[in-house]
Amino acid sequence: MQKAYKENFYAGLQQAIEEAGKIVLMVVIQSNGSSPGRTGFKMWVTEKDMGGTIGGGIMEHKLVEYAKTLLLKDSWKPFLKKQMHSKEASKDQSGMICSGEQMIAFYLLETSDLNWLSSVGKGGTESIVFTQNGIALNNVKDDLATDKIDEQNWQLREALHSLNKVYVIGGGHVGRALCEILAFLDFEIHQLDNRASLNTMESNPFAQYKSVIDFNEIDQYIPEGPDVYVVIMSFGYRTDEIILRRLLGKKFRYIGMMGSKNKVKMLFDQFSSEGIDPALLSELHTPIGIDIKSETAHEIAISVAAELIKVKNKER
C-alpha cells in the first residue's frame, strides 16, 4: 500500500522529495479506449514509497519497478512510454487486457525541483504544464488537455483548482464501486481506509489517490473547501462514529454517510445526548444517496453519485 501523505498530490510529492532526495514522477499524458490510467493520472516513486496511481494492476507494478531502476541513474531527460492493454499488440504490451492504450511521461525530480513545487497553488499559479522539456507553472486558467504528441514532443496542461475532490472513506466493495462510477465524472477521487492490505482497495484502479490512515486523524487528510465532497462508508458503526466526530462542523460542499436508518438514529441520539448541536447533524446527508431502492454495491454507488451530481450542479 502506498504511503499516506497529507493534503494533495503535489504536497505529497514535495514531501517525498524532501525525504528521499529524488523521485521518479510518472504522468499519463494521453489515454484512449478503456485504459485504466486516464489522462492526468500521476504517480511518484522513491526507493521505498510511492503515491498516486497511473492505472493500477500488473502494468503499474511493472512500471513502479522500472521507475526504481531509473533512480539508480545519475540523470536523464524526460521520455514517453506507451502501454497497450491488449495481448494482440505487437509491442508495448502492458500485461492488462482491458483494451485501450496510454502514454506515460517519466520525469526525474530532485531537491532543486522543490522551488517550483513550493509555488504550486500560490501566487496566481493556475496551471501546470508537462512537456518533453520538463515541468512548468503558469498563471493561465486551463482545462485538462493534451496537445498532439509523439515520442519527442508532448504537452499536457492541467488546471490546479478546477476539479471537484471527493473523499471516499471506506475501501470495501461499495467504496470501490463508487470510485468506478465517479471515474466517469468530474471528480478527483481520493480513497481512505484504516485497514492495511485491503484487497478491494489495493486493486482499485479508479481512485487517483489511496491512503491507509488512522481515522482518529482523518480531519488532517481532508481539506475544507467549496469543492470538497466527503462520502463516509467505513466498516461499521464504531468507525463511522470516530470519523463523524472529527469531521462534523467542517466546511465541505457535501458530507454524507452510508447506513441503515436504525444505525443513523442510534448515532444521532448518542451525539444529541452529548450536547452536539443538532444543526451540525442536519448537514449530514444520510441515509446517503438518491432513493432508488438500491441493493447491490453498484446500485448504491449510482444512487450516491446521483446525489453528488445534484449537489454539484445546484446553484450556490
> Which residue ranges make up each domain of the chain?
9-159, 164-313
**How far apart (Å, rounded) are the C-alpha atoms in residues 71 and 156?**
24
Residue 115: exposure state from Cβ atoms within 10 A (0-12, 13-18, ≥19): exposed
Q: How far is CA 115 from CA 10, 14, 76, 136, in A?
A: 12, 10, 20, 11
- 3-class secondary structure, 188: strand
**How far apart (Å, rounded) are the C-alpha atoms in residues 233 and 132?**
41
- pLDDT 10s per residue in the chain (316 long)? 455 444 467 888 999 999 999 999 999 999 888 778 888 889 999 999 998 889 888 999 999 999 999 999 999 999 999 988 888 878 878 888 777 889 999 999 999 999 988 888 665 667 889 999 999 987 766 556 676 677 788 999 887 765 689 999 999 999 999 999 998 786 889 999 999 989 999 888 888 889 999 999 999 999 998 889 999 999 988 999 999 999 998 999 999 999 888 888 898 999 999 998 888 888 899 889 998 888 899 999 999 999 999 998 875 4
Tracing cell 463508487 back to the chain, one arrives at 178
Q: How far is CA 13 from CA 22, 143, 314, in A?
A: 10, 22, 34
CATH architecture entry for 164-313: 3-Layer(aba) Sandwich (3.40)
Q: For residue 168, which phi and psi values (nearest 5 degrees)? A: -90, 110
Decide if 19 contacts 68 (C-beta within 8 A): no
Check: pTM over 0.75? Answer yes or no: no
**How far apart (Å, rounded) are the C-alpha atoms in residues 237 and 260?**
10
